[in-house]
Every structure is written in C-alpha cells, then in structure tokens.
Chain A
Amino acid sequence: MAGGMTYTAADSVNFSTAEYYGKVLVELGAEHPEIVALTADLGKSTKIGMFGQAYPDRFFNVGIAEQNMFGMAAGMAKAGLVPFLSTFSVFASLRSADQLQTDICYQNVNAKIIATHAGTSFGQAGSTHHAINDMAVARAMPNLTVICPADGMETVNAVRAAYETPGPFYIRINRGFDRVLYPSSDYGFEVGKAVTLKEGTDLTIIACGSCAFQALQAANFLENADGLKVRVLNMHTIKPIDREAILKAVSDTRRIITVEDHNVVGGLGSAVAEVVIESGKGCAFKQLGIPDQFAPIGLHEDIMSILGIDSNGIIDAVREVMGKDFELDDDWDDEV
C-alpha cells in the first residue's frame, strides 16, 4: 500500500471521483518534486488543476491542443520528470492516439494519463464526449497499463500505484460522483489483480468501473431472490488482465458475464474472452456493455439502465445465462 492518507467512504459525499484524483496528485506532488502535470484546458473539469494551484511552476496548461500535450509529456519524461496528463478519455485515447502510441508507449516513458469523463459518464454531452472505445485503443498499445477504477477509493489507489510503477499508465475515471464500492481505500489494491467482491459458484460477473458496484448489487439481489451464488470480480486492471482469476472463474462457475461502460468490441469483455478462449476450457459467456453503437444522450445512470449495464440489466442477464443449457448442443460432437 502506498503512502499518504487513507480515504474513507465518508469523504465520498464531498468528493467526486476526479476530486479524489486531484487530492492524491497534490499529495504525491508534495513528496515528489519530479512530478509535473499537464492538461489541455481541462484543469477544472479533470481536477488536475488542483495540482496547478498547489505547484504552479510544475503545471502546464497547453490550451486545447492534446497532441502537443502528449508530445511534451514524453519529452519531459525523457528528461527525468514524471508527467501526469489529464483530459477527457475520448480525447486522450483518440485525438492524440498517435502521440500516445509513438511518443509515450513506443518510447516506454514514465508518463501517467489520467483520463476523466470515461465511458458514458458525461452522458448529456453526447457521443462526441463519450469514451466508448478508449480501453480498446489503450489495450492494444504495447507497454501501456490500463486501469478502470470502480470508485473514488480505487482511484486513489490506482493513481498512487501508477506513480510507484515505472512505465506508461492509462487510468480512466468517471465524471462526477461514483456509487461507493469500497468503504475505505485501504483494501489491498494491486495492479493486475482482480478484487473478489463476492464469492459464488453458480456464475461469475466480471466488471470494471462503475459497473462493479452495479454487479455487486445484482449479485446480492439474486442471492436473496433466486438463491443464486454469484461471484463478482472487480477487474480494475484491464491490462495486464488477471488471467488467474478468469481461469478460476471458468473452472469454478462455468458461466461468465462481463460488464463495462464501453463498447463490447475491444474492452473488458474482449480481454476476458481472449483468456477464456485461449484456455481451451469452454464456458457460457455473455458480454454487457455498449452494443457496438453510439450511446444515447442522457444522465449517466439512465444511459446505464438503457444499455442494461446497471443492476437490473445485469440481473436479467444472469437469469438468461443461468437458464441456458450450454453443455448440450445437438450440433456439437466432441468425439471428433
């Protein structure tokens, strides 16, 4: 566990997820003079501006120019600084994707991208401001660690871990207030290790970001209503993915549902599917997320409901998968 203060869920009434990020970055900045911060006119929105207020000489607002920001960060990292960059996820992953890949990942520099307004969390802004494929883009870039924290507590841990771990990081956090999953930041976060939120043997839900809270709610409901034992994994690290936890879920529960606020193409569900398929061990599998279309406009919780990635949608999906007799298939001859 990294240094710094332990945050508790009580603070979550006051702080949005991004505010936790801002606070932790200010803490880190006090301890580590080599940390610098860059933003592209989103100091207030992403809360990286809190660092700028504390350490104006180490803060660079480049204006609305993301490509330059990523290049500058690479140059700063090459010179020995540890740059943190913040803009909206959709811009961090697409507008400056060439710089993210070439300047940051190819050179394998020690730069940390904390991208806010992830998924559909800036719902009313519409598709120009939804990040529906940032994890797909980031996951396909060698050297890049990709994390999607579930709430403010996990963001605290992820940001600290990013500082402590050499190499480039992409952390996507939501706009606004997340539902609180963890009572405290002191729960044993480790990059690349899924957190088991609930044990179960009937089915495993693997979720990330704000969907982790929804998955846990769904599992608790199903235990009471249907008597189902549903395991819930918070797969906060999308890359490197926790293969061990996935394979254990395959063998223990034989049914997996993935849930993410992201296109079903290329994100958490795809990453889990790759591990399952390569294992050669079959299991029932269903992906919940944005079904390869642009998401509707609306409040984040409404969009999650429409997409079926809230607890109600997850409950429906679990019942559907539990109802499938996936082991019997007349067209399948496993003697061949």
Chain B
Amino acid sequence: MPLTKQEWLALEKKAHELRRLCLDTTYWAGSAHIGGGMSSMDMLTVLYHKYLNLDVENPNWEDRDRFILSKGHAGVALASVLVDYGWNDPEQLKTFNHSNSKMGIHLDSNKVIGVDASTGSLGHGLPIALGTALAARVLGKDYKTYCILGDGECDEGSNWEAAMAASHFKATNLISFVDRNKCMIDGPTEEVMKLEPFADKWRAFGFIVKEVDGHNFKELCEAIDFALANETDSPVMIIANTIKGAGVDFMEDNYLWHYGAIDEEKYNKAIESLEAYYEARKARAEKEGE
C-alpha cells in the first residue's frame, strides 16, 4: 500500500514530536548521542508507527515483530520512541544517563520495556536479529525482525559473518537498514575506514539492496514494502542515506556531534531549528504526497 499524503503528514508530525523528545532527553541528560539518534529517527518513526506489529497492552507478545537497534548508542532516540509508545514511564527520560537510572546510553533489554536486544558493543545487532528471524522459522511464526545498523559499525567483521549467514539461510523475514550518515567518532566514514562501494558489498554477500533517502518517508515506505513483498530467497538491506543530527542545523553532517552536550542556549537554538525543519518536511509531504 503506497503511503498516502495523510499518513505521510502524520509520520512527519510524529517524527517531529520524537525529535523534540530526543532533544529534551539529551538536554535533561546533559549530553547524549544525539547526532546518530536524529539520523535514525525517521526509520524508527516509520517502523514503530506504520510497520511493526506490536501489542501496546502486551510488550512481550510472543508473535510481535522484533526490532533490534544494532547501533545501540542511538538509545537516546529509541528510548524516546519507547516512552512515547507508552511502554515506559515518561519520567524515566528525565533520568536518562543519570546514576542508577534504568536508562543508560545503551539500553538494557532487561530494564527498558520494548528493547529486544541489549546492544552497544558494535557488530552485535545483525547476528542477534538473524537468530530472532531464524527462530520464527523454527517456531512456525510469521513475525518479522527489523534491524538498524550504523554505517561506521559495518567495519566490524561480525556483521559480515551475519550477512553471509542471513543470505545462506535465506532469512527473508529479516529486514535490515544501515543508517548511512557517513560519520563516525573520529571523522567521516570514508576517511576513517572506507566503506564504499558499500551497496556492492551487501550485494556481494547475497542481499537485495535498496538505497533511499532516510529522511523521506515515501522512499522508506517503498523500500520496506518492497522487502515485505520480497519473494526471492535473498534478504533485503535498505541503505538509508541520512544526515547526522538531521533537523538540528548546527549538528547536521558534523561528525563531532556523534556525542554532544547541550546547554540552554544550544537547546533553544535546536528547538528553533527543529521547527523550521518540520515546516520544510511538511511542505515536501504536501507537495509530493498523493
């Protein structure tokens, strides 16, 4: 089903609210991985508010779709999503990163409701997601497993072990994304450790690759719909080209905002920027939506 204009606008509104919550959480915490959180936020929004088959009343429903955030440092974004979803006390966001909080930088699946895997050490999410996907086959269940990787994270060899296995085991119920924001802690990905030709690498490992604008809901939905309709034996990898810090102008595309601190002045500037970003995104949805 193609994305309607109404759905598109609703997703834009939700993504805006979630970006605000992510910013607030970063402000309350003093600092967080806001850059990579903002670059992932549209993927998280479309998954949690259009695709994931979940039961709000029963977070542990065994037939639910699974979501694994392999780039666990974007926990500040996922925490915002899971609180907004109603699964965790909103007050917890005010304790994010504080001593003895249930929510640290990298979310703990045994402490935060709705987290399907404790990630943080990179290169772990795709193997876990593959296991969850193959478990559906053994258990005779039809849930899907979604996984978001960071692009810098793809330096880790374990991802490629999992990629080889996902293809070998024909795990088409696994739908993966790379948040291709082209930044890592020490600099641009292509300077620190070259990933390109990135899509070709995934293809060589047996994936069907879709490259999309990771901040365009229409393109994201088209790619996910393609993956859900995929009847080949090859799993789908969606490379979402994104902007680190998307929505906050002074953070955008700047690898230094991998992890950053926000004071009141920056917070106010960021809010102003997010509002303008939302207006522009709404206008695009109005113009391009059908």
Contact = CB atoms under 8 A, between A and B. Distances in A.
B185 to A, nearest CB: 18
Interface residues of B, number: 35
Interface in B108-141: 108-110, 116-118, 120-121, 123-124, 126-136, 138-139
B109 A75 contact: no
Contacts of B110: 107-108
B162 A79 contact: no
Interface in A95-116: 98-99, 102-103, 106-108
B62 interface: yes
A58 interface: yes
A36 interface: yes
Interface stretch (A62-70, A177-185, A245-253): A62-70
A68 B136 contact: no
Contacts of A81: 135, 138-139
Nearest to B162: A68
A58 B126 CA distance: 20
Contacts of A88: none
Nearest to B141: A79
B93 to A, nearest CB: 23
Interface in B146-182: 157-158, 161-162, 164-165, 168-169
B71 interface: no
B130 A75 contact: yes
Given A58-B138, A107-B117, A67 B161 contact: yes
A60 B158 contact: no
Interface string B46-80: 00000000000000001000101000000000000
Q: Which of A36, A68, A106 has the most CB of B within 10 A?
A: A68
Interface string B171-197: 000000000000000000000000000
Interface string A63-91: 10101111111111111110100000000
Contact of B162 (A71, A76, A78): A71
A9 to B, nearest CB: 36
Contacts of B165: 62-63, 65, 68, 72
B132 A98 contact: no
A71 B138 contact: no
Interface residues of A, number: 31
Given A70-B127, A103-B124, A78 B158 contact: no
A72 B166 CA distance: 10
A105 to B, nearest CB: 10
Nearest to A79: B135
A73 B118 contact: no
Q: Which of A62, A80, A99 has the most CB of B within 10 A?
A: A62
B109 A80 contact: no
A191 B164 CA distance: 38
A130 B157 CA distance: 24
A57 interface: yes
A107 B66 CA distance: 16
Contacts of A108: 110
B132 A102 contact: no
Given A74-B117, A102-B120, A107-B110, A68 B130 contact: yes
Q: Which of B127, B134, B136, B158 has the most CB of A within 10 A?
A: B127
A295 to B, nearest CB: 29
A103 B127 CA distance: 10
Nearest to B147: A75
Given A80-B135, A98-B121, A68 B161 contact: yes
Nearest to A107: B118
Given A72-B127, A81-B138, A67 B157 contact: yes
A81 B140 CA distance: 12
Given A75-B117, A75-B128, 18 more contacts: A58-B138, A71-B127, A71-B131, A71-B158, A72-B127, A73-B131, A74-B117, A75-B127, A75-B145, A76-B132, A76-B135, A78-B66, A78-B132, A79-B132, A99-B124, A102-B121, A107-B109, A107-B110
State the 4 A-B residue pairs at the shortest beta-carbon distance, nearest first: A71-B127, A75-B131, A72-B131, A79-B135
Interface of B: 62, 66, 68, 108-110, 116-118, 120-121, 123-124, 126-136, 138-139, 145, 157-158, 161-162, 164-165, 168-169
15 contacts: A36-B135, A60-B134, A63-B165, A63-B168, A67-B157, A67-B161, A72-B127, A74-B131, A76-B131, A78-B131, A98-B121, A99-B127, A102-B118, A103-B127, A107-B109
